[in-house]
Amino acid sequence: MANRKVYTDYFFDEPAFNTHDGGYVPLETPTTPQEKLRIPALLQPDQETPTDMTYTVTAQAGETQLLPGPKTKTWGYNTSILGKTIVFKDGKNIHVTLKNQLPEVTTFHWHGLNVSGPIVDGGCHAPIYPGESHQIDFKCDQVAATLWLHAHPCPETAEQVWRGLAAMVIVQDKTESQLPFPRNYGVDDIPLVLQDRRFHQNNQLDYMADYDPDGVQGPTPMINGTINPYFDVTTQRLRLRILDGANRREWRLHFSDNLKFTQIASDGGILPEPVDFTHLMLTCAERAEILVDFSQYQPGDEVTLYSDDVPLVHFRIHQFAKDDTKLPDHLVEIPDPPVTPNTKVHQVVMSGMDEQVEINGTKFDMQRIDDKQKIGNVEYWDISNTNDKSTGMIHPYHMHATQFRIVSRNGHAPYPNERGLKDTVGVNPGETVRLKVGFNKLGVFMNHCHILEHEDGGMMAQFEVYDPDHPKTYHLMDMDTLMTAFAKERGVKKEDLNIPGMHM
C-alpha cells in the first residue's frame, strides 16, 4: 500500500470562517460531568421481506435529560430528541408511514435520498398536519451512504431542527459490505450528529431569544443529543459517521495529538480513494465517514475530538484486540457520465447576508419554478457566492434529489475529499463551484443554502426535473396556506405569527 499524503489544513478560506462573524457565538467547554455518548437506537422495520422494508416514522414531542436539573423540552423522530437511525437497503422497495404527533405542521425531508418530488422528497410541498399521517413508497436505488432526515416546512425548518428533528439514515449495499470497514453499529460504527445549543431558564431552549438571521448558534456543543460525551473504545478501529446537523455552525475537527484519521466517504457514499487528514472542516449538512486507528494508545488513555479548541467527544481507550486490517488504495468506482451535449450551464448565484439573502437576485417563492432539467440529462451547474472575501460567509449549497460531482472551484481542482458523490458543498465568498448534475427521478425540488435561517429567509429556489414525453402538473403548496395552518395551531391571528422567515 502506497504512503498517502496527509492533509493538515482546512482548505476553506480562513477569512470567511464563522469565527469572524460579528454575531459569532464561540463554543465553550461544558462544565457538567461527562456523560456516556448517546448512540441512537436503530429503528426496527415494522416488516422486512427479501424485497420490501416497511417503517413507521413518528415526529413527536418529548423531554430529554440534557443537563443536570429539569429536563429539556425537545422534539424527535420515534424518540425524544433527534431520531432513531433508519436503515434502507439498496434495491428494496421502501414503505414509510409518516406520523405527525407534534402540535404543528411539519414535513419529513430525506436529505440526500434519491426519490421523486415534491411529496416523497418531503420538502415544503409535503406538509403533514398535527394528528395526521401519510404513507410514502419508493425504491431504494443508490449506493451505500450516510444520509439524514430532517424537518423542512417553510419557513419553519430552522426552529424545528433546533428543537431536535434530525435523524441519521444509513443506506447499505453489497459493494460497501465487501470493503474492510467496521460496521458493528454502536460498537465500532458510530454516528456523530454535531450540533450546538444555548440553554435558558430551567434548561429550556428558546429559539426566538437566540434568533440571528445569519444562523442560530449556541455555546454548548451537543453530540447525538449528549452534553460533554465520552465513548468507550473497545476496538482498535472506529468508523465515525459525522453529520454537521447544526443550524449555522461549521466544525473544524481534529483529535488530540493531531492523530491522523482517514476519510472513506462523503455525503453520497464511499470515496474512490481514502484520504488521510489531521484536520477536517464540515459545513452545514455535510457528512464525512472517517476511520480512526487507536493502535498507539493504551487502556486508560483518552483521545479527544475537538472543534477548534473545544472538546466534543472524549474517547476512553479500553483493551482491544490487535487489528491489522489495511485499506486498499482504491475503494470504489464513481460513475462519471459525460455532460449531455448542447445543454445550458445552470447559474445559481447566492448573495447577501442577514435578511438580504437571495438566489439569483430574488427570494424563494413556493409557487415559482426557477429552473428545469430533463430527466436523464447530465448538465453543469455553476454555484457562485457573491459575498465579500474578507467579510462574507461560506454558504453551504444543497440540491435535493441528486448526488452530484464537484468539477472545480474557481476553475481549480476540488478539495481532496470532494472526488466522490455530494449533495452539499461549501462555497467560499467570491467563488464559483462547478457541479456535474444528473437526475433520474421526476418532480419539483428545492436547492438552497443549508444555513437553515438563510433558507427560511429566502435563500432558496426550486427546479423541476421533467420528462418532455410525459409532462406533469404539480400542486405546489403556497405560503398563505402554511401560515394559516401555523396560526391555527398556535391559536393566534395570521398577522400575529412570529416566524422570522415568513417575512422574507
Is 190:109 a contact under the CB 8 Å cutoff?
A: no
Least confidently predicted of 224-228, 466-470, 490-494: 490-494
| C-alpha to C-alpha distances, 98 to 102, 148, 349, nearest whole angstrom | 12, 15, 34
**257 and 128 part of one domain:** no
Here the cell at position 133 is 399521517
The three-class DSSP label of residue 207 is: helix
pLDDT for residue 501: 65
List, in order, residues 6 or more apart from 356 with CB less than 8 Å away: none
Domain boundary among 154, 175, 196: 175
**CATH number of the domain where residue 373 is located:** 2.60.40.420
Here the cell at position 256 is 488530540
Here the cell at position 105 is 405542521
Residue 482 phi/psi, 5-degree rounding, is: -65, -40
**388 and 425 part of one domain:** yes
332: in domain: no
Q: Which residues pair with 156 in a beta bridge?
A: none
333: in domain: no
Here the cell at position 101 is 404527533
The three-class DSSP label of residue 372 is: strand
What's the number of domains the chain is made of? Answer: 3
pLDDT in tens, 287-333: 999 999 999 999 999 999 999 999 999 999 999 999 999 999 999 99
Do you know the residue count of the chain? 504
**41 and 126 part of one domain:** yes
- For residue 222, what is the enclosing H or E element? strand 220-223
**279 and 372 part of one domain:** no
Domain boundary among 175, 208, 224: 175
Structural domain harbouring 301: 6-11+182-317
503: in domain: no
pLDDT for residue 483: 78
Encode burial over 447-479: b for 16+ CB neighbours within 10 A, e otherwise: bbbbbbbbbbbbbbbbbbbbeeeeeeeeeebeb
484: in domain: no
pLDDT in tens, 357-379: 999 999 999 999 999 999 999 99
The three-class DSSP label of residue 501 is: helix
Encode burial over 279-304: b for 16+ CB neighbours within 10 A, e otherwise: bbbbbbbbbbbbbbebeebeeeeebb
**211 and 249 part of one domain:** yes
C-alpha angle 224-172-418 in degrees, rounded to nearest 5: 75
**24 and 124 part of one domain:** yes
Q: How much is the pTM?
A: 0.96
**171 and 220 part of one domain:** no
**126 and 190 part of one domain:** no
CB atoms within 10 A of CB 412: 8
